[in-house]
A = this chain, B = another copy of it.
Amino acid sequence: MSLLVIGTVAFDAIETPFGKTDKIIGGAAPYISLAASYFTPNINLVAVVGDDFPQNYIELLQNHGVNTEGLQIKKGEKSFFWAGKYHEDLNSRDTLVTELNVLADFDPIIPKSYQDCKVVMLGNLTPTIQRTVIERMERRPQLIVMDTMNFWMNIAWDELMKTISMVDVLSINDSEARQLSGEYSLVKAANKILKMGPKYLIIKKGEHGALLFGEEQMFFAPALPLEEVFDPTGAGDTFAGGFVGYLCKSEIINFGAMKRAVIYGSTLGSFCVEKFGTTGIINLSATQVEERAKKFMDLVSVSW
């Protein structure tokens, strides 16, 4: 099934205890699109950059099968820029710079050729822009997956609730699930959030794995304990990209397929954190992906 991805396309400058980068390609949409590209050939990007954004970064996406017709390039404007520094344990970070630039008045235009997309992945953005994308689709897609974050819970609650009510799958982390629901127990939090509209909820727990709720069922995908974690940037977006990419490939939308999709999301996420930025997910073979996914399955496999 064809995939429409909306999200930021940005410059990131990242510092971790293991090193730092200059401005490199970042933002939710590249991580989502690159991860999804290992599963589906039909990826359609809606995003905005300035004319400072390097052509070779756009070609990187195109070389992974990403249709960039919906990527607006604003003449004389600068791309979104984020700089952050991770703490020693990589579990928290300080944002050093956020320059919205072109993102400040981003109006997501859906090219005619994208209107048939069956799956829409709403990367983290203002909930209003996310909803605009849904409203500008002439037919309701078969599946709408939404990623968001605590920031929007703090400053745009009503808009966020409206958008959440329109999607099929919501993907957030554990502290965000607690904030959104007002419940500490993730089981209770999930029950409340599933009443807000989504049929499925993914709760990401970082190095502790991910939970999937829906259809009165619960599933847990572990994270693979790794020897080295270099850079967690984009891990959540990469997870989302692997998740929707796999669903596009499988062409099945039910709890069973989503369980497998969560495993593949986690699989791509594990490659992402092993290297800086997108480096870990731009050059994988199908065999590497399958072998890594098998490690996730073996990790919890028991014979009785």
**B residues within 8 A CB of A209?**
208-209, 222
Binds B, one of A24-32, A97-105, A109-117, A295-303: A295-303
* Of B185, B220, B229, B259, the contact of A222 (CB 8 Å cutoff): B220
Query: In the complex, what distance in Å separates the CA atom of A202 from the CA atom of B106?
Result: 50
Given contact pairs A218-B299, A299-B219, A300-B220, A185 touches B229 in the complex (Cβ within 8 A)? yes
A184 within 8 A of B: yes
Beta-carbon nearest neighbor of A263 in chain B: B302
State the oligomeric state as a number of copies. 2
**Residues in A193-214 with C-beta less than 8 Å from chain B:** 205, 208-209, 211
Contact indicator A185/B300 (Cβ below 8 Å): no
A143-163, CB under 8 A of B: which get 1 and which 0? Answer: 000000000000000000000
**B residues within 8 A CB of A297?**
302
Contact indicator A208/B211 (Cβ below 8 Å): no
Beta-carbon nearest neighbor of A17 in chain B: B184
* Of B188, B221, B227, B256, the contact of A300 (CB 8 Å cutoff): B221
**B residues within 8 A CB of A227?**
185, 187-188
Most chain B CB within 10 A, of A187, A218, A226, A302, is at: A302
**Residues in A250-304 with C-beta less than 8 Å from chain B:** 256, 259-260, 263, 297, 299-300, 302-304
Shortest CB–CB separation between residue A19 and chain B, in angstroms?
A: 16
Beta-carbon nearest neighbor of A189 in chain B: B225
* Of B225, B256, B259, B263, the contact of A218 (CB 8 Å cutoff): B225
Query: In the complex, what distance in Å separates the CA atom of A208 from the CA atom of B184?
Result: 14
| Interfacial residues, chain A to chain B (CB-CB below 8 A) | 88-89, 184-188, 205, 208-209, 211, 218-222, 225-229, 256, 259-260, 263, 297, 299-300, 302-304
